[in-house]
Amino acid sequence: MTGKTAVVTGAGSGLGRRIARALLGAGYQVALAGRREEALRETADGDGNALAVPVDVADPEAVEGLFTAVRERWGRLDLLVNNAGVSVGGTVADLSVDDWRRTVDTNLTGMFLCAQQAVRLMRDQDPRGGRIINNGSISAHAPRPASVGYTATKHAVTGLTRSISLDGRAWNVACGQIDIGNAATEMTERMADGVPQPDGRVVAEPTFDAGHVADAVLYMAALPLDTNVQFLTITATTMPFIGRG
């Protein structure tokens, strides 16, 4: 049992659920953040170390309330896994402004708001410090076709990670990023039927067990605060990433 506390956003499904359950299994006390309370309770599955907190990460007041709940329940925060995100397809020519703003609000502003509240809590607690792990995605490196909003925000997350890493030094806050390609979740089931490629073909793509992502997050989280994995890329070995395009 670690006795440490964590916040996982987007914890109601997919990678967020796998990561949250892995942290609970490792002895963390985990605040499960997401839009749907019922889904968060399914993730918790009755674990007394889990706290379900329905929240829209794009809402500053709701995010502040999430971290206030963590402080009141456990008194400190050791880890934030900034995982919440949306993926809205569209090319630069046809993505609506509303969909652009929704993507930016969730994928970028939401990560910033959660990181800001986490850093403030980590800065002021005793002992000081903690760790933030941002979910950047393979799209932080290379785009898929018709993904301008998602790709732009994920590239921006890399800049956010670097800035938090630099600013956090003063308060013993470490920040790293995990970039994930084709982990097997509900979101990637469609890849078995084929997804568009840059050359116009529709090709089935391989996936890998999402449990390996959770294991990678556990590794990053378990390091002492004087050691940091700045960027970690984990993908299906033969997915079209190296050489994409």
Catalytic residues: 150
Instruction: For residue 78, give the 3-state DSSP assignment.
Output: coil
Residues 18, 92 contacting (CB under 8 angstroms): no
Buried b (16+ CB within 10 A) or exposed e, 147-176: bbbbbbbbbbbbebbeebbeebeeeebbbb
CB atoms within 10 A of CB 204: 11
What the block records as the tokens of 128 is: 């000081």
Give the whole-angstrom CA distance, residue 213 versus residue 190. 19
DSSP string covering 145-173:
TTBHHHHHHHHHHHHHHHHHHHHGGGGTE
| Type of residue found at 212 | H
Distance from the Cα of residue 98 to its chain's centroid: 23
Helix orientation angle between 110-124 and 148-167, rounded to the nearest 10 degrees: 10
Give the whole-angstrom CA distance, residue 171 versus residue 121. 10
